Amino acid sequence: MSTFKKIMVALGITQYAEGIFAYAAGLAEALEADLLVVNIINKRDVEAIRSITSMGYEVDGGHYVEGVRADRSAFLKEIIERAGFPPERIRTIIKVGNPYEKLLEIIVQEKVDMVVMGSKSRMDFEHMLVGSVASKIFRRSPVTVVSYRSEAEAEHLRRHIRRDG
């Protein structure tokens, strides 16, 4: 059996983040692993701000990234503190880029042994065309990827299975 020393938990700023983190912390505790908390600021958002700036509007892309980074850092810090996982065994990374590309880069650069992330159980037009970040990570990750489902999501899926089956 593989040894898991470092677990990366990929968190968006969503209502599911706390549940995903708690699940990853439970796994890390059981496996005696460290946690790497990762959040990616989508470069499309930053490029949109720069585009608005180029049209003459008073918006500063650099300040936008600094503000988003500070907000996300505070959000993640609250989640981490509430979980009670030993802070000396957690490191947080917030980067700007294409989310799935950056996550894959971090997996390799940081020598991650496992990834925990959420997978929304919805299908929308964008996901039909290009796939979600989670599905791309599941297909391309060189390490084990664990999908977290909240109890509400799990029950929703159970109802669909019962109805369709």
Phi (first) and psi of residue 100, to 5 degrees:
-70, -35
pLDDT digits (tens, 9 = 90+) for 135-156: 899 999 999 999 998 888 888 8
List the end-to-end C-alpha distance of the chain, in Å, as a whole number.
Answer: 35
Q: Which domains does the chain have, with CATH numbers?
A: 6-164 (3.40.50.620)
Burial per residue of 107-135, b for 16 or more beta-carbon CB atoms within 10 angstroms, e otherwise: beeeebbbbbbbbeeeeeeeeeeeebbbe
Strands 6-10, 34-42: parallel, antiparallel or unpaired by DSSP?
parallel
Per-residue confidence (pLDDT) for residue 127, from 0 to 100: 43
- What is the DSSP secondary-structure string of 8-30? EEE--SSTTHHHHHHHHHHHHHH
Average pLDDT over residues 115-133: 62
pLDDT digits (tens, 9 = 90+) for 1-38: 568 999 999 999 888 899 999 999 999 999 999 999 99
